[in-house]
Amino acid sequence: MSDRHTHKGRGAGYNPTPRYARTERGAEPDAELPDEPGADPRTVVSVDATRSVISRNDSPDLPFNQSLNPYRGCEHGCIYCFARPSHAYLDLSPGLDFETRILAKPRAAELLADAMRKPGYRCEVLAMGTNTDPYQPAERHWRITRRVLELLLDCRHPVGIVTKSGRIAHDLDILTELAQHDLVSVYLSITTLDRDLARTLEPRAAAPQARLATVARLRAAGVPVGVLVAPIIPALTDHELEAILTAAAQAGAGFAGYTVLRLPGEVAGLFEDWLQRHRPERAQRVLHALQAIWGERLSSGTFGHRQRGAGDYATLLGQRFELACRRLGLGAAPRLDTRAFRPPAGGQLGFGW
């Protein structure tokens, strides 16, 4: 444990060894973003030379079939993030590397346009924020998400966004116009209302109260917005479910969803280390509760319950969620329009490149 520390502004306490060794990395650092004073290690943003940006899935547990992530890795540093193990494919660690070695996809809008021009492309809602946050701090400099939204608006293509960042309000001009054509819905993800807990659990995400303020701002602008209580952490944040839903409804949220914490791959060790550093008195209760949900394990990939778990606890949690939503008038996210889609014209995009 001597190599494990609490780093200011970081969620992980160490770097587990990547599972897949590679002789070289696919990108070289070409930009650095300043950290908070005294924070270490520094954030390094590199260019991801990917040739495609649409990810497709056929999972019955997910409400979308295609998604786009402008970044790999996420500086928000949420210790529980299920996407952490994906960094191992880049010969980077799911630990500190995941939140400090960010790969940006500056050609995302161009590659998306190429995909949408293909004769066989079928317009379906494009999900953003499904793996890493499209409004993490790097977006301030790279503005990749904004360029993607500009393209989607021009093509009348629907998009669903999940974020923990108030930075999404910087794109209100585009989001408002998308909303006027029934082309966008937004979820603000809120794990806890406890600022002190959030500061260590998801250290560089917006404070919970700032996310609620963003809900109100989006609602006032006419953008369909809801709350995603995710992930619910048994024996740590589960008691906040009704309070989060109530606060979100009061801020103007119109719909809601939730997921239960699961710890795939290296996330299990990282989260256990976080518990020992920040909530040692609750560590065993949390882990035992998770094992009860996931069948004596800490995660499950089984279709049908991998988002919300199984057993008595999971059933009770679902009942609490449904009752609270009914009481607060929180319904389902609106259906978005796929009929107005028009493929991008030509081979050049007018984004000033």
What per-residue confidence (pLDDT) applies to 64? 72
Give the C-alpha separation, 12 to 208, whole Å: 20
Q: What is the mean pLDDT of residues 80-99?
A: 95
> Between these two residues, 305 and 94, which has the higher pLDDT value?
94
The percentage of the chain sitting over the pLDDT mark of 70, rounded to a whole number, equals 88
Establish if 175 belongs to a structural domain. yes
pTM attached to this predicted model:
0.90
Who wins on pLDDT, 33 or 319? Answer: 319
For residue 280, give the CATH number of its domain.
Answer: 3.80.30.30
pLDDT of 347 over the 60 cut: no
What's the rounded mean pLDDT across residues 139-160?
A: 98
Looking at residue 3, what is its pLDDT?
60
Return the pLDDT at 5.
80
pLDDT digits (tens, 9 = 90+) for 69-89: 999 999 999 999 999 999 998
Range of the domain at 228: 106-328
What does the pLDDT read at residue 146?
Answer: 98
- Note the pLDDT of residue 186: 98
- Count: domains in the chain: 1
Cα gap 265→132, rounded to integer Å: 17
Q: Which residue has the higher pLDDT, 49 or 304?
A: 49
> Is 64 within a domain?
no
Residue 280 covered by a domain: yes
Of 28-37, 113-122, 135-144, 222-231, the range with the lowest mean pLDDT is 28-37
Tell me: pLDDT of 115 over 80.
Answer: yes
Query: 48 and 115 in contact (C-beta within 8 Å)?
Result: no
Residue 96 covered by a domain = no
What is the pairing mode between strands 101-104 and 71-72?
antiparallel
**Contact status, residue 195 vs residue 208, Cβ threshold 8 Å:** yes
The percent of residues above 90 in pLDDT, for the chain, comes to 77
Specify the pLDDT at position 295.
83
Q: Is residue 78 part of a domain?
A: no
Distance of CA 295 to the CA centre of its chain: 26
Is the pLDDT higher at 57 or at 138? 138
